[in-house]
Amino acid sequence: MATHGGLLRIQTKGHGEIVDITEGVRAILRSSEIQLGVVTVFGTGSTVAVTTMEYEPGGVADLREVLDRLVPVRRDDGTADYEHNRLNRDTNAYAHLRAALIGPSESIPIANGELLLGTWQQIVLLDFDDRPRTRVVSVHVVS
């Protein structure tokens, strides 16, 4: 079979928590025994996103800060709430917006059974929802 499918279950605190999921992706890759291919990492749900970054405390704090500034928790004109919140009596419109802008998936090439990441490049899950969640990340290896 040319595709190996796996799942990660990740407990998060929400509120913009950024979780390094590289080792989880690597474990699924190893169990696939695929040497050459592509792994697709996909965050399930409309308030999470997946990207890569150097996972260290400074960069994590900066990324949270820049998203708070670009897509604030409350509309920054102060005159009205987001439409998502208003129409659905909800509170997490900003989480939906951040997730849509960053996107749910990244695909990473594999050679010699290893992810072709940079030395200081990790795969991260960003959970923007405004409460703790158990998140599911699909990790499929195609060869």
Rule CB under 8 A: which residues touch its own copies? 1-3, 5, 36-38, 40, 42, 44-46, 51-54, 56-59, 61-63, 65-66, 70-71, 82-88, 93, 96-97, 99-111, 116-118, 120-121, 124, 138-140, 142-143
Nearest to 135 by CA among 39, 38, 41, 62: 41
> For 79, which DSSP code?
S
Residue 103 C-beta: closest distance to its own copies, Å: 5
* 30 vs 100 by CB, closer to its own copies: 100
- Nearer residue to its own copies within complex by CB, 19 or 71: 71
For 1-143, list the strands marked E by DSSP. Answer: 3-12, 17-20, 37-43, 48-53, 105-111, 114-115, 122-127, 133-142
| Shortest distance, position 96 Cβ to its own copies, whole Å | 5
Nearest approach in angstroms of CB 47 to its own copies is 8
- Closer by beta carbon to its own copies, 15 or else 136: 136
Cβ within 8 Å of residue 103, ≥6 positions away: 49, 50, 51
- Least Cβ distance, residue 50 to its own copies (angstroms): 8
| Residues 6+ away with beta carbon under 8 Å from 63 | 18, 53, 126
